[in-house]
Structure 1
């Protein structure tokens, strides 16, 4: 074990510095969050040394987690996905420690079910989620796509021709299509929250919310 121990009451412990874990740790660190990364692979440790608060340790060993101060963190992210055994052991160790929030990466539905059953509070499927998001983007007119939960989705899109030149009140998008225009971004202007008086032009970007199927239908309008 090397480099740095946490001396904090609440922060984020990121275990595993693959693409998923390193992106989370680096982003949290850049945002000024209290973060400590844990990695067993000496090559990855060398790669990230000096760039992140980091310890080299095997987090599947509960004693190692205790020694690096794992109990001091309010949130833990298990970024280990390639080894099902290691992922489950690490998550189980965090559950036994009583970590208030555990986010764990899963690479399959079965993996996710196991993590949920042993006590992970949030299970994420980065590859599947990214693939689903890209599929929505390449198949239609959506410029960005974020599924929040149970089909509720937020998208960025160009306005259909029938909405261009009209206010939201005049086009009555919500009643006709079941989606809500949250905000509008005009070229060279700041983002504004939408009101019934907001007028839409052809070059605007719309931020819309609603059920994924309804948004897809709305975005498919000419």
Structure 2
């Protein structure tokens, strides 16, 4: 039996963010209770989530009726109505939900959510904007940032290391990045070892500080 089945998740607000999170959680095996105040949105999601209800989740009595204490995690996806977002987080916090995630539209909104009880605050528009900005650099193919400084990226192999084994190119010593793996056309991903020779057209998966990765990707 999937362990995820023992961890139902409440998703409040079924806009683009909330519905995407809810659908992904369903695919992962979670039971998802979606809640929204718009009856049309509730109807549209009736067959997409485990259960969907029309409810005002800024009210503690409503959350109690929904059995919120049975949910170890809740996600507040309300974005445009900041007051409703904050009130929903506050109500969840007062009811003792141990893992509260909330969407924020800006830094001020995020700080308020943290102070009212959100354990995790996400800025989807900001993060996507940063990611797109970095991917505009055509040598960076994919990019995941952690804690604002560290990242894992997929990029085209810089010409400066093509034809060399990794032990010779010394990426970690010279460029402060670690090559984790290599992907070649029509071949499976391989984990990088010191003897791995980088060929023209190779794509690399690397880790390191964001500024170091960007500098490495720009090498000619």
State the TM-score, normalizing by the size of structure 1. 0.93
C-alpha distance in structure 1 between counterparts of 2:168 and 2:97, whole Å:
51
C-alpha distance in structure 2 between counterparts of 1:194 and 1:34, whole Å:
38
Match of 1:102 among 100, 103, 120: 100
Conservation of the 8 A alpha-carbon contact between 1:13 and 1:35 = yes
Q: Does 1:10 align with 2:7?
A: yes
Total equivalences in the alignment: 215
Task: State the partner residue of 1:113.
Answer: 111
Task: State the partner residue of 2:38.
Answer: 41
Please list, as runs of the form range in 1=range in 2, the aligned pairs for 1:106-185 lying within 5 A after superposition.
106-185=104-183
SS of equivalent residue, structure 2 residue 200 = coil
Q: Deviations over 1:60-117 (max 9, x none)?
A: 1111111111111111111001111000000011111111111100001000000111
| Aligned CA-pair RMSD | 1.3
Tell me how far 1:9 sits from its aligned partner: 5.8
SS of equivalent residue, structure 2 residue 206 = strand
Task: State the partner residue of 2:18.
Answer: 21
Identify unmatched segments of 5+ residues in structure 2.
none
Conservation of the 8 A alpha-carbon contact between 2:56 and 2:62 = yes
Tell me how far 1:139 sits from its aligned partner: 3.3
Conservation of the 8 A alpha-carbon contact between 1:18 and 1:80 = yes
C-alpha distance in structure 1 between counterparts of 2:75 and 2:200, whole Å:
42
State the TM-score, normalizing by the size of structure 2. 0.94
Tell me how far 1:175 sits from its aligned partner: 0.6
Match of 2:56 among 52, 55, 58: 58
Q: Does 1:74 align with 2:72?
A: yes
C-alpha distance in structure 2 between counterparts of 1:168 and 1:32, whole Å:
40
